[in-house]
Each structure stands twice: as structure tokens, then as C-alpha cells.
Amino acid sequence: MLDLDAEVAATQLAELTSRAAELAGDHPVRDILDIGAGTGTGTFALLRRFPEASVTAIDTSEEMLEHLRDSATRLDLADRIRPLRADLDEGWPGTGPADLVWASSSMHHMADPDRVLRDIHATLRPGGLLTVIEMERMPLFLPDDLGFGRPGTEARCHVLLDEARAEHLPHIGSDWPARLTGAGFTILESRVLTVDMASPLPEAAIRYAYATLSRIRSALADRLTPEDASTLDDLLADDGPRALRTRSDLRVHSTRSAWIATLR
């Protein structure tokens, strides 16, 4: 799902890395930290944008880092990436100083994001940049009335998702500008990254819809009504008249908030 998300949001991601390069100005960007690197969406976008840089890709999951290593080898970028397994809730790893820190959909996972932001502040070189990206809600794909089931299935799923995430991820929806300034940063730019795609969708976007809605179905298995569970099962079937792939009204709509900051 992460790889498909990167493909669907590639244009918006390229615009953000381009803006980060503009704001870096004359400050050379050679050492980059990607916090919560996952499968490497940010890592590879940053390597493309900053051809003289190397990236330390930090993640708690060895499985994610192995996927990233394989992708780096396939793209002939392995010599520019240092995968580092670390849990930032346990303390800041020995990364060395950085010119740019990238944190995409990772800060809300931290037990103490304010402490992590202070650690980032201490790690950045003067003139360095921090980019924080947060997507507060999962993407939308479906019309309200599917033509079967009770209207509003996706909206009800999102309400349940919000409840579930609030229980386990208390920093979702945080006031990130306030946290950034509180940690000693000056925000240079705030922007909203919007993906808005309508049918007919490219194949990657259709697979993205399947992957995301499958994850929602699994995450909400014990919270969904039987009717909504059945509706999702019909949509996620490999084939059949109700399957996602057969729909002419499938879309992709998502928004991310992004902030680019520097040391105050």
C-alpha cells in the first residue's frame, strides 16, 4: 500500500521536495535523515531531488528496511542509503548531523513527539531543514450511494477509523505548527498536498483503492456492522458485478498537511 501511495502521490511529493530544495538555498544538502522511512517513498524522492546526498533511512521494522534495501539495489542507489533500525521512543540513535530531516506520517506514532522534535533540532546543522508531513485521514474512493448496501459505507468506516486511531495514536490531529515552534523551529512554509483523481483511474490507483480498503476492512473487522462488512467484501472481490474494478465512479481523494521548518 505504501508503494502504491507513493506512485499515486508522486506529483505532489515531487513538488514538495522541489520546494524544500528551493528553501535550502545555498545550504548544501548532503546528509538526510528519513524518519519512519517505511518502504522508501521519501528516501527515493529525496535522492532524486538531491543528487549529492545520502540518506539514513530510520524505521522500527526490519521488514520495511529489507524492502527498502531491495528497492535501493534494484534502482542502483544502495551506496547512497544507510538503513537504520531504531525505535525513536527509546532514544535518539547515533546518526550524526543532518542537513535535512524528513518525517512523513511518522511523528504521530511517537510516544513523545516533542522530545523527538527537540532531538531533531539538536541534529540539524545551522541552515538545515525539517519537513513534516501528516495525513490525518485515509483516502476516499467511493461515492456515498454505491447502488447496493446502505448509503454512506465509506463515511461510516472513516468514523470508526477515527475512533480506533484516537485510542492507539493520541497525537493524530496534533497542532504540529505549535509543536514545531515549541521545539525551537521557525516554520518557513505550510501547504496542503491534495491528490484528486477521477475515473478512469490508472491501474496503480485502482490497486491502491483495493489495498487501502482491504486494510480498512481488516482493521475494522470487529467494529463494522454485518451490512457494511458485506458491502466491503463485495467491493473487494476479485471479480463480480460489485467489485471495485467494475465501477466507473471510483476516485482517489486524499490530503496531506506539510510544514517545512528551520532552526530558530
pLDDT digit string (tens) for 129-175? 999 999 978 999 999 999 999 999 999 999 999 999 888 899 999 99
Q: What is the pLDDT of residues 202-232, one digit of tens each?
A: 999 999 999 999 999 999 999 999 999 999 9
Query: Among residues 54, 11, 60, which one has the least CA distance to residue 35?
Result: 60
Looking up cell 481523494 gives 253
Bridge partners for 82 per DSSP = 56
Asked if residue 208 lies in contact with residue 251, where contact means CB atoms within 8 angstroms, the answer is: no
Are the C-beta atoms of residues 218 and 241 closer than 8 Å to each other? no
Whole-model pTM: value is 0.94
- Look-up of cell digits 519512519: 36
- Residue 239 is predicted with a pLDDT of 87
Which sign does the torsion angle of CA 242, 246, 247, 248 carry? Answer: negative
Task: Name which of 137, 150, 119, 104 is nearest 258 in CA terms.
Answer: 104
In three-state secondary structure terms, 93 is: coil
What residue ranges define each of the domains in the chain, with the CATH number in brackets? 1-136+173-198+253-264 (3.40.50.150), 139-169+200-248 (no CATH)
What is the pLDDT averaged over residues 67-81?
Answer: 96
Q: What is the mean pLDDT of the chain?
A: 96
Instruction: Using the predicted structure, report yes or no on whether residue 120 has a pLDDT greater than 90.
Output: yes
Amino acid at 215: R
- Kindly indicate the confidence band of residue 126, based on its pLDDT and cuts at 50, 70 and 90: very high
